Chains A and B, each alone.
Chain A
């Protein structure tokens, strides 16, 4: 990747209108991860320093570039499974935990998460 810079506040399409580049900067996904079923490997990621297997069905993500606080939006999805209750908790500016629950039991599943929010 070349390190040349294009500085622009607005992107303008010939017919579809223009877009302020702050929407691009602020709207970009700031972190994603795809962890394998047992949480022993990170298969795909961005802005992840480590993943910790904290128990059955639980994968804790630590950021490389912190968020500005603990308010951000994370989507979580089980890969290839229909789960009852996948959810996120333990949010902080340095990471979050993804949980997979089937019925009332934590269950190992491949997890995929994606985060939008503001970086520190």
Chain B
């Protein structure tokens, strides 16, 4: 299906179009990350409707737009966004592969200090894995950490 020309269309309207026109895509990828040594590992799950938008192309804004809004919100005198138009007026990105979509989502929804330095230090802070590599039960969930013995055929958190 051809995506309509959406530049200048409110992002929420685009999402309404996508929800009605596209089949959702349940990704098997999960992102496990640790953003604090005092907290358990967190597991990011891509939304199926969002993934459909990413694979379709022409709907989502560039990830840099979200960074700009985050910068605005981090200012001490922030009360309300005044640059929301960036979401709607910036040229939408082209279609992504599922792997590229996961990278986009990491840059959008994971803390920057995690993904920018995920492989620094003496332990990896972030891992992309398959759903079946997560522990099968929720036992000791609040103590889960990224395994130090990473391999593609092992559980990545325990």
Contact = CB atoms under 8 A, between A and B. Distances in A.
* A, B assembled together: yes
The size bracket of the interface on B is 35 or more
A52 B66 contact: no
Contacts of A54: 39, 42
B49 A45 contact: yes
A30 B10 CA distance: 13
B69 A69 contact: no
B47 interface: yes
Contact of A65 (B4, B11, B78, B105): B11
Interface residues of A, number: 37
A65 B45 contact: no
Given A47-B12, A93-B81, A94-B66, A41 B45 contact: yes
Given A40-B30, A42-B48, A55-B141, 10 more contacts: A40-B131, A49-B47, A50-B50, A53-B43, A56-B138, A56-B141, A60-B42, A64-B11, A68-B81, A106-B142
Q: Which 9 A-B pairs have the closest CB atoms?
A: A120-B84, A65-B11, A120-B81, A53-B43, A62-B109, A48-B47, A69-B80, A65-B12, A1-B20
Interface of B: 4, 10-12, 15-17, 19-21, 26, 30, 39-40, 42-50, 53, 60, 66, 69-70, 73, 78-81, 83-84, 87, 105, 108-109, 131, 134, 138, 141-142
